């Protein structure tokens, strides 16, 4: 692992939560990352490396993902937001900027709503407002319902162009690299994450979010069609939409293109 990273396991709610911090000297608030479903934080390292090296970054494996233990009962997004706030307390952080990716975008919305004093700015990448959304194609959604892509590299190679689009359609090596970095904690944790988002929606309170918000969207996203990000940008009062020519995982496939957009947004005065 890169030497600047600090790894720590935190005990919360009887669970071991695996965390990583990249220290920094920036005057900006630290950036807290809520990753996608089933994704261990190593998958997001290319994006972290593309950010300003002085920016402090915090990430963690959600319960049942990567190196974190699996709970006996599932959390809902509200419970996971509360767990994240307690995690920040334990790591001695107050206010942070938040970025949520895909499934983590729902959790980021919940965190910004439940803990507005702790969320300075909000970044939503390749995500939607939950149950009230325009879904992707049934075949794509069916592929996402199973954790198989995190345990079977050959399966990832087959479905990545269909599910992720963008760069994964053009470069088969991206899927192989993605599969090599993935770390599964077992099927149950993945299903618990699916349950966290089951029936959840933010559509009825998005207008209450007051954080400056950057909505990032890929124009070739088979999983979260672009109209969903347009809806988020329309419903959140202080939001701006940025569209990138890529698919669902543009933070990984084009980190050097998207990182300057994010750094500019974080540096803007609130």
Closest CA to 110 of 93, 130, 138, 92: 130
Q: Active-site positions?
A: 102
Please give the structure tokens belonging to residue 71. 């709970």
Q: How far apart are CA 72 and CA 117, in angstroms?
A: 31
Q: How far is the C-alpha of 179 from the C-alpha of 155, rounded, in Å?
A: 9
Give bridge partners of residue 250 from the DSSP assignment.
none
Instruction: Identify the CATH number of the domain defined by range 6-140+184-267.
Output: 3.40.50.1820
Distance CA 111, CA 93 (A): 15
d(CA 29, CA 99): 12
pLDDT tens-digit profile of 202-260?
999 999 999 999 999 999 999 999 999 999 999 999 999 999 999 999 999 999 999 99
Cβ-contact 103, 37 below 8 angstroms: yes
Domain ranges of the chain: 6-140+184-267
Closest Cα to residue 134, out of 223, 234, 246, 257?
223
How confident is the model over 58-91, as pLDDT tens digits? 999 999 999 999 999 999 999 999 999 999 999 9
Average pLDDT, stretch 171-196?
86
Q: Please provide the DSSP assignment of 62-117 as one string.
A: PTTSTTSPPPSSPPPHHHHHHHHHHHHHHHT--SEEEEEETHHHHHHHHHHHH-TT
Chain centroid to CA 58: how far? 12
Least confident of 6-15, 120-129, 166-175, 218-227: 166-175
Q: Is the predicted pLDDT of residue 2 greater than 60, yes or no?
A: no
3 state SS of 209 = coil
**Contact at 8 Å (CB) between 162 and 155?**
no
> The tokens of 92 are what?
């001695």
pLDDT at 6: 95
Give the whole-angstrom CA distance, residue 124 versus residue 141: 20
pLDDT digits (tens, 9 = 90+) for 44-54: 999 999 999 99
- Assigned token pair, 185: 């904690």
- Averaged confidence pLDDT in the chain: 93
Say how far apart CA 75 and CA 13 lie, in whole Å: 11
C-alpha distances (whole Å) from 210 to each of 116, 126, 158, 164, 226 are 8, 20, 41, 31, 23
Which of the two residues, 79 and 4, has the higher pLDDT score? Answer: 79
Q: How confident is the model at residue 3, as a pLDDT?
A: 57
Predicted confidence (pLDDT) at residue 160 exceeds the cutoff of 90: no
User: pLDDT over 90 for what percent of the chain?
Assistant: 80
């Amino acid at each position: 692992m890169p030497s600047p990273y600090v790894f720590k396991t935190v005990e919360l709610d009887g669970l071991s939560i695996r965390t990583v911090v990249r220290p920094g000297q920036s005057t900006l608030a630290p950036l807290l990352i809520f990753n996608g479903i089933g994704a261990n934080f190593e998958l997001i390292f290319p994006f972290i490396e593309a950010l300003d090296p002085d920016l402090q970054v915090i990430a963690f494996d959600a319960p049942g993902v990567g190196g974190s233990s699996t709970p006996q009962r599932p959390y809902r997004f509200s419970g996971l937001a509360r767990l994240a706030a307690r995690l920040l307390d334990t790591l001695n952080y107050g206010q942070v900027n938040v970025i949520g990716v895909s499934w983590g975008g729902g959790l980021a919305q919940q965190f910004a709503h439940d803990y507005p004093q702790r969320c300075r700015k909000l970044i939503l990448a390749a995500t939607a407002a939950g149950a009230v959304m325009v879904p992707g194609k049934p075949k794509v959604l069916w592929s996402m319902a199973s954790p198989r892509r995190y345990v079977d590299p050959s399966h990832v190679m087959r479905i990545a162009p269909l599910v992720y689009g963008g760069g994964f359609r053009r470069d088969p090596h991206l899927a192989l690299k993605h599969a090599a970095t993935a770390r599964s904690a077992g099927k149950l944790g993945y299903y618990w994450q699916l349950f966290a988002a089951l029936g959840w929606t933010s559509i009825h309170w998005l207008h209450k979010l007051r954080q400056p918000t950057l909505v990032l969207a890929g124009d070739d996203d088979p999983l979260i069609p672009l109209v969903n990000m347009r809806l988020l940008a329309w419903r959140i009062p202080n939001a701006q939409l940025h569209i990138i020519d890529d698919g669902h995982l543009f933070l990984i496939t084009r980190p050097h293109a998207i990182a300057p957009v994010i750094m500019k947004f974080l540096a803007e005065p609130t």
